[in-house]
Amino acid sequence: MVLSLGFILLLVSACTKTVPSSYALAEFHGPTMGTSYTVKAVLRQPLAREKIKGRIDETLKRVNKLMSIYDPDSELSRFNRAAGQVWFAIAPETHHVFKVAMEIGRLSGGALDITVGRLVNLWGFGPDNRRGTLPAPEALAAAMELTGLQRLKLQDEPPAVCKEKAGVYCDLAAVAKGYGVDLVAEALAGLGISAYMIEVGGEVRAAGKRPDGQFWHLGVAVPDGSQQVSRIIDIADMAMATSGDYQNYYEIDGRRYSHTIDPHLGRPLGHNLASVTVLHPSCLEADAWATALNVLGPDKGMALAEKQKLPVLFIVREPEGFVERRSTAMKAYIKE
């Protein structure tokens, strides 16, 4: 899976306080899904760190093996090569991700659409990485004929998915990292760890508090590549995901083409919304909503966020510079 961060995650350290002797903060790092992960776990009892890291790596490898479009043998890649009008058996994990993505796709009027894979590839953001020339109009028209959530059917028991016709190509990059975070959280809970911060490719979930008794402080970056902090958000028992246009893009003749594709237009986003940060108990859902709201843009996106009562922070490019817009539900989380 390609790294497609909409923001840079900054972990903001608070003033040092005395840490209880019975607590230990263990930190783990590693590669995953074309990006990397960081896990900080508060250990209140002796626990082999090798066991924790092994469980983390095993969990994320499972997600990658199911949902990567870069692994030709992954479950998703095999489905993308499958014939149309045939039920394709999928793992419960993949079924859950499809179901959540399709439901948020429905609620967002198709702004989140996991069938955009062919369009993503045409614009140079898929496994082929074909950048430098713009797609031909006839190629885009053909890809649009294979795009749309109506091209998919999902079956609960046994878990299976069916595509309308051969050539429908699904891409779970907008949701898989968030789901990986959720599964790591479940793995840590299974080991008796109740306080942690998990980050995979910029998508984050935190629970409990740090050893110093403070909440986990997360910084949302100014969306200009400077790595300066725009806002600090305190979260506990919550996930955070951001979608933006400044980390994964290219320019041709002075025009920027972002990795996020508007499935209704078949092309990269063209509005002035620079980044969207969403809070949700589920990192999968935070990830999905961030992409959906980003596609919708600052006005339609905020209207939907308010309707769904989502804590959302928009950073919009205006002539005078970056301007923040917050949903009503987000105001409780902003650290001034």
Domains and CATH numbers, the chain: 9-64+176-335 (3.10.520.10), 67-163 (1.10.3980.10)
Q: CA-to-CA distance for 115 and 98, rounded, in angstroms?
A: 11
pLDDT for the residue 290: 97
pLDDT exceeds 70 at position 247: no
- Hey, what amino acid is at 200? V
Whose tokens are 């891409």? That residue is 171
Q: CA-to-CA distance for 269 and 261, rounded, in angstroms?
A: 6
pLDDT exceeds 70 at position 3: no
- Helix 283-296 crosses helix 176-190 at what angle (to 10 degrees)? 160
Mean pLDDT score, 34-49? 90
Mean pLDDT score, 35-60? 93
- pLDDT digits over 218-239, tens only? 888 777 666 778 888 888 899 9
Mean pLDDT lowest among 175-189, 194-208, 219-233, 245-259: 245-259
Contacts of 328 (CB under 8 A, 6+ apart): 306, 309
For the entire predicted model, the pTM comes to 0.91
Contacts of 320 (CB under 8 A, 6+ apart): none
- Helix 283-296 crosses helix 92-107 at what angle (to 10 degrees)? 30
The CA–CA distances, whole Å, from 68 to 103, 158, 173 equal 21, 22, 8
pLDDT for the residue 46: 77
Dihedral of the alpha carbons of 159, 164, 169, 174, in degrees to the nearest 10: -60
- pLDDT digits over 257-280, tens only? 778 899 999 999 888 899 999 999
Most confident of 123-127, 218-222, 305-309: 305-309
> How remote is the C-alpha of 252 from its chain's centroid?
26
Helix, strand, coil proportions of the chain in percent (round to 5)?
30, 30, 40
Whose tokens are 């899904």? That residue is 33
Mean pLDDT score, 285-312? 97
The CA–CA distances, whole Å, from 297 to 23, 61, 83, 148, 285 equal 44, 33, 35, 19, 18
